[in-house]
Structure 1
Amino acid sequence: MNDVNYVLLGRRIRILRKYRKLTQEQLAEVVGLSIQHLSNAENARTKLGFPKIKSIADSLDVSLDELAGDGMKHRQIRPEIAALFRE
């Protein structure tokens, strides 16, 4: 996970969280983060470790590639998820 683009990761977390109709408070509680830490992650002001990124991906029902990777290049991203990121 050394090549994670934290700006892109944060943007994707926010997009998917809103798509799943979750508040920051709800997602933070599920993954064991404070609301402030999740907010900072969504705004690329903090870096999340692999276990938290995996927990967020699981909670948002997406793969790690869809959330943090470059799945779009490798066609490993579901079309409905890719459409969210293009909007």
Structure 2
Amino acid sequence: MMNEYTFEETSSRTVEVNGERLRRIDYNGIDPNRTEPEVDYCNISGRVFVDEMAFFQAAIEGNISDLIKDKVIERLNERPEEQPENAELA
């Protein structure tokens, strides 16, 4: 289901976390059913942190949507015990 979503970067900036340079990306995930009349849909929004160089490489390749999608799916598939202590940064 989530594989069909389109993810759009709404803003991003470089941050330093524990000495590591990361790119903080705020995003909207758009449900493909949003244009169908009388069909439930669920858009999502959130924030992910990715390696800064991975972000710029994805930008060069035009794959930021996929980078965000992969991170969101990874996060949704984590078991509670696998989530980092600072879950608000993930």
TM-score, reference length from structure 1: 0.29
Question: Which structure's CA Rg is the greater one?
Answer: 2
Please identify which structure carries the higher helix content: 1
Which one has more relative contact order, counting CA pairs under 8 Å at least 6 apart? 1
TM-score (norm 2): 0.28
Query: Relative to total residues, which structure has the larger strand share, 1 or 2?
Result: 2
